[in-house]
Copies of this chain bind each other. A is one copy, B any other.
Amino acid sequence: MQAEVIFTGTELMIGQILNTNSQYLQQTLALWGIDLFYQVTVGDNLERLAQAITQASERAGLIIISGGLGPTEDDLSRDALAKSLGVPLVINEKALKITRRLFDERNVPMPDNNLRQALVPPGGIVLDNPIGTAPGMIFEQNEKIYVLIPGPPNEFKMMLNNEIEPFIFEKLGSERKIIKSRVIKLSGLGESTADQQLGDLLQSANPTLAPTARFSEVHLRITSKAESVEKALQMNAELEEKIRQRVGDYIFGTDDETLADVVGRQFESRRLTLATVEYLTGGVLANQLNVIKNPGNFYKAGFIIGSNNPGIENLSFSPLPGKEQAEQLADWCKKAVNPDLSIAVTGKIKETGKEKKLRGTIYIATNHNGKTRSGEFVLWGLPQDIKERAAQLTLSTLWRIGRDFGQEG
């Protein structure tokens, strides 16, 4: 099946809002195994919208029109559909119920304007909208399927998943392909090294394997297409196993897990506590450790020293960046709040060479059981990038400590 998508809304045409529904719908169509060849965006104009629908009917079997289902006069999707297909619109009782519901719940009378939202061509299927006043609609004519779906992202997603997906799956029948993805996340391995190690696997057509890199993380997306969920998951698992055999040491998590999530899970399960000190990164590290899915009790405290702070006598340490100072900070932090592990990240950023590129020198030190260790790293980029990468390197260090904990005694 081929689809064409039409987004309507003047707010989309002048860039007032970013169209995030677009990506969500594209991903959903890909998961359903439906090809999308054209996507068109038009303003709230009856003529242009109707023309876009007419043209889409000439090119695709499934035409999805998003937006323009509100109660006001610039909400024109219903009218444009009727105009393009030459069908009338009549008040639909089911649609009217949906439109009325929110007003009834709030005990306010429904303005007459909203009656427009209950207009449906005879024979149209009304789609429920539990969180808004705009019903959706499916209408079939000449073996083409027309779907009208509201624009607000929450309503859009809910209706797409709950109302439209079952209808489409039914239509597709045995034609339907299941697509399942799995993301394997690596830390401490460059993208080009990953490319080298995985070489031939990257050429595979089904499942596909697509790497993306962000700072010191590499994410490998496995995607399988099959006749059943079980088969697709099995194909994913087989490729994941091959990847684990080659680069297993660098894999920290899967799917939507972050490095901080995994660090939190490790520390929680091993009943280890942690405290952090940051100079240069200004709270990026602490913040990441505090927005994780299951915060638990592992994180005791964090200290942030202002980037231009020359030293704080009352706390008796000097934050000037260097390997020794990072170690001193880790030791001080260990004494101050007595976590099982303390970690300090410090650094400085300097312009270098003729090109005045920014070079960050980062020092990461840990104190664990009174034993201090430290490392030095060099990073390039804009200041904020260097800070974020420094925080990520620190998380990566914590992850390796959590992983190897107990093995070193």
Write the nearest CB–CB distance from A282 to chain B, whole angstroms: 3
Of A92-100, A112-120, A301-309, which stretch is located at the interface?
A301-309
Cα–Cα, bound, A304→B282 (Å): 12
- On chain B, the residues within 8 Å of A407 by CB distance are none
> Residues 9-44 of chain A: 1 if any B CB is under 8 Å from the residue's CB, otherwise 0?
000111101111011111111100000111111110
The listed residue (B13, B26, B39) touching A36 by CB distance below 8 A is B13
Q: Is A290 an interface residue (CB 8 A)?
A: yes
Q: Is A193 an interface residue (CB 8 A)?
A: no
Q: Is A299 an interface residue (CB 8 A)?
A: yes
Q: Is A375 an interface residue (CB 8 A)?
A: no
A309 and B299 in contact (CB under 8 A), knowing A13-B36, A15-B25, A38-B41? Answer: yes
Closest B residue to A308 by beta carbon equals: B297
Cα–Cα, bound, A302→B45 (Å): 53
Check if A26 sits within 8 Å of B30, measured CB to CB. Answer: no
A314 and B335 in contact (CB under 8 A), knowing A24-B15, A308-B297? Answer: yes
> Residues 278-303 of chain A: 1 if any B CB is under 8 Å from the residue's CB, otherwise 0?
00001111110111000111111111
Check if A314 sits within 8 Å of B337, measured CB to CB. Answer: yes
Check if A41 sits within 8 Å of B42, measured CB to CB. Answer: no
Check if B27 sits within 8 Å of A15, measured CB to CB. Answer: yes
Closest B residue to A12 by beta carbon equals: B26
Looking at chain A's contact residues, is the secondary structure mostly helix, strand, loop, or mixed? Answer: mixed
Q: Is A315 an interface residue (CB 8 A)?
A: yes
- On chain B, the residues within 8 Å of A286 by CB distance are 282-283, 286-287, 304
Cα–Cα, bound, A287→B391 (Å): 12
Write the nearest CB–CB distance from A233 to chain B, whole angstroms: 20
Closest B residue to A307 by beta carbon equals: B295
Q: Is A229 an interface residue (CB 8 A)?
A: no
- On chain B, the residues within 8 Å of A19 by CB distance are 19, 22-23
- On chain B, the residues within 8 Å of A304 by CB distance are 283, 286, 290, 301-304
Pick 13 A–B contacts, CB within 8 A, sort by A. Answer: A13-B37, A15-B22, A15-B27, A15-B28, A17-B23, A19-B22, A39-B41, A282-B286, A295-B308, A299-B308, A300-B312, A301-B315, A302-B303
